[in-house]
Chains A and B, each alone.
Chain A
Amino acid sequence: MNIFSDAARYVWIARTSARSNLAYAGEVIYRCSFLTIILYIFLRLWTAVYEGSGVDRVGGLTLPQMLWYLVVTEAIYMSAPRVASEVDEDVRTGRLAVHLIRPLSYVGGHLSRAMGDRVVRFAINLMVGTAIAFVLVGPISLSWSGIAMFLAVLPAAFVLDFLGMFLIGLCAFWLESTSGLALIYTRTVMMFGGMFLPLAIYPAVLQPLLKVLPFASMLSAPGLMFVSPSLPLLEESIVIQVAGVVLFAGMVGLVQFIAMRRLFANGG
């Protein structure tokens, strides 16, 4: 009973966050119009590549599949909430002390809010991206099993990214500003996650390393699962995601434990 009521609290937070996100239509439109520009530029870029090299497939993908891959990876990347800066602000302003007296886990509360936020943003990005890709390159063939595999790796991709950003935010206990670190983290995810280039295009010597890092399972794995699903890739991605979540969650627990010992709350 207790577990259910606890879970209901977090679900309620996620739901509230999702609803409040829907209220900010301006920001959503801004993000979508920027997505349009990115997709248009990459369509031009990849069209030049396919025409120039005279091949049907690059990195195992056709031109329409390449653009749809980009739709998915961009939709995931652009849906990321500003977890690091929120945690940073909690630490810097002392708001953290207020969070800690609530009957909620600090990480759990942030996770619920971030997931509610992200699901809405991702859904909108994906819808807009789908419409743009339809106009630019037309549809690609999708299968129910492929969509199921895509949906199977998506939640862990979001959770992994959340834990990474949360860790960065906790660094505010030691650093004057975490904004630089957050920028480096997002660029690391972008580059090593294969956002613009499928990992198959990266230099062969780097590919084994990139495949075992958690970043590829945040972007590349869902993107590939959507356009060109395969069971071995699904199995590989789930193993890496589980290991990544355990590792990141362990690091969050450890860093938070050390950080809380430095916390001083002065009335007010």
Chain B
Amino acid sequence: MFRSFVDYLNLCAAYLRININAQLEYRGAFYSQVAAMFINDGAWVVFWLFFFTRFPVLHGWSLKDVMSLWAMTTAGFGIAYGLMGNAHRKLAPAIAQGELDLWLLHPRAVLPHWLLGSTVPSAWGDAAFGFVVYLGFVMPDAIHAVTFVVLSFVVAVVFVGLGIATGSLSFYIGNASTISDQWRDSSITFATYPPTLFEGKVKLLLYTAIPAGFISYLPVQTLRSMSIVDLLIAIAGALIVLTFGVGMFYFGLRRYESGNLLSMNG
């Protein structure tokens, strides 16, 4: 069990090296995408700066709290799709077009192997942005900084789980690319606004169908309270989302039909 885990970590490291080297073949394009995403996220910081300059408190949330939401969401997103780029927007069309064949032939379990198959260049900009904003705006002490790093990996698990769940819809309803993107984008959008804005049934939705609560609300709550219980709930939430996604994938895989594609994978 432990050896198998170490094996997968080695596989992960090998894929990371290959994916980054592949991107660096066009290093101008890679760096420009990373920088552009950093600036893109920065535009939202400017928006909130202007907002909180005019309205200093929003339902008990200050600029630092909202920056923590952004830092947590972008860092988690960046780690998830930087390491497992195929979980981002690629699963739904791949299933619909029968492109999983190649991955089914490998000796490794199909899902982790598929997930590691590529990196999203701009995701590295998101990851860098998350850590820079948290350190720059929130200026945490050592224990908060370490907790943030731990939580950013927990959030990455949520993003991977969400990517698998949304992409796996293609097993059930045909090409689900559009609805898959919509589901994930909605979760990210809700995750970047203070949870105190939402109440009632919408709040329930944000901890179930649209897991924004597990992407940023619970992790930021953990950073505010530094409670071990909150941390465990955040981890449990992330594992539930991942388990749900993996379950959807393997249950749906039984319905998968080959695309009979001949392709070169370099």
For the residues of B in contact with A, the DSSP-based class is: helix
Residue of A at shortest CB range from B35?
Answer: A180
Complex alpha-carbon distance, A240 and B250, angstroms: 57
- Which chain A residues border B26 with CB–CB below 8 Å? 176-177
Whole-angstrom distance from the CB of A124 to the nearest CB of chain B?
Answer: 15
Contact, CB under 8 Å: B193 / A187: no
For the residues of A in contact with B, the DSSP-based class is: helix
Residues of A within 8 A of B (CB): 26-27, 29-30, 33-34, 37-38, 41, 44-45, 48-49, 52-53, 175-177, 179-181, 183-184, 187-188, 190-191, 196-197, 201-203
Contact, CB under 8 Å: B39 / A187: yes
**What 0/1 pattern do residues 49 to 69 of B give for CB contact below 8 A with A?**
011011101110000000000
Which residues, 10 to 63 on B, are CB-close (under 8 Å) to A? 26, 28-29, 32-33, 35-37, 39-40, 43, 46-47, 50-51, 53-55, 57-59
- Which chain A residues border B37 with CB–CB below 8 Å? 180, 183
Whole-angstrom distance from the CB of A207 to the nearest CB of chain B?
Answer: 11
Whole-angstrom distance from the CB of A192 to the nearest CB of chain B?
Answer: 10
- Which chain A residues border B198 with CB–CB below 8 Å? 44
Contact, CB under 8 Å: A177 / B193: no
Q: Is B225 an interface residue (CB 8 A)?
A: no
Contact, CB under 8 Å: B28 / A175: yes
Residue of A at shortest CB range from B50?
Answer: A202
Contact, CB under 8 Å: B33 / A196: no
Whole-angstrom distance from the CB of A2 to the nearest CB of chain B?
Answer: 43
Whole-angstrom distance from the CB of A80 to the nearest CB of chain B?
Answer: 15
Contact, CB under 8 Å: A52 / B36: no
* Contact for A41 among B53, B178, B190, CB less than 8 A: B190
* Contact for B58 among A41, A49, A197, A203, CB less than 8 A: A49
Q: Is B181 an interface residue (CB 8 A)?
A: yes
- Which chain A residues border B265 with CB–CB below 8 Å? none
Contact, CB under 8 Å: A181 / B36: yes
Total number of residue pairs linking A and B with CB closer than 8 Å: 88
* Contact for B50 among A27, A176, A180, A203, CB less than 8 A: A203
Complex alpha-carbon distance, A181 and B186, angstroms: 25
**What 0/1 pattern do residues 69 to 85 of B give for CB contact below 8 A with A?**
00000000000000000
- Which chain B residues border A196 with CB–CB below 8 Å? 47
Whole-angstrom distance from the CB of A24 to the nearest CB of chain B?
Answer: 10
Complex alpha-carbon distance, A29 and B181, angstroms: 13
Whole-angstrom distance from the CB of B39 to the nearest CB of chain A?
Answer: 5
How many chain B residues touch A (Cβ–Cβ < 8 Å)?
Answer: 34
Residue of A at shortest CB range from B192?
Answer: A41
Complex alpha-carbon distance, A191 and B48, angstroms: 11
Contact, CB under 8 Å: B189 / A38: yes
Complex alpha-carbon distance, A175 and B28, angstroms: 8
Contact, CB under 8 Å: B197 / A176: no
Whole-angstrom distance from the CB of B38 to the nearest CB of chain A?
Answer: 10
Contact, CB under 8 Å: B40 / A187: yes
Contact, CB under 8 Å: B197 / A34: no
A49-B58, A201-B54 are contacts. A183–B28 as well, Cβ < 8 Å?
no
- Which chain A residues border B208 with CB–CB below 8 Å? none
**6 shortest A-B CB distances, which residue pairs?**
A180-B36, A177-B29, A180-B32, A176-B29, A187-B43, A176-B28
Q: Is B182 an interface residue (CB 8 A)?
A: yes
Q: Is B7 an interface residue (CB 8 A)?
A: no
* Contact for B186 among A27, A34, A180, A197, CB less than 8 A: A34
Complex alpha-carbon distance, A111 and B52, angstroms: 39
8 contacts between A and B (CB under 8 A): A33-B182, A34-B186, A49-B58, A180-B33, A183-B36, A183-B37, A187-B43, A203-B50
Complex alpha-carbon distance, A52 and B57, angstroms: 8
Complex alpha-carbon distance, A58 and B237, angstroms: 39
Contact, CB under 8 Å: B54 / A48: no
Whole-angstrom distance from the CB of B246 to the nearest CB of chain A?
Answer: 26
Contact, CB under 8 Å: B43 / A190: yes
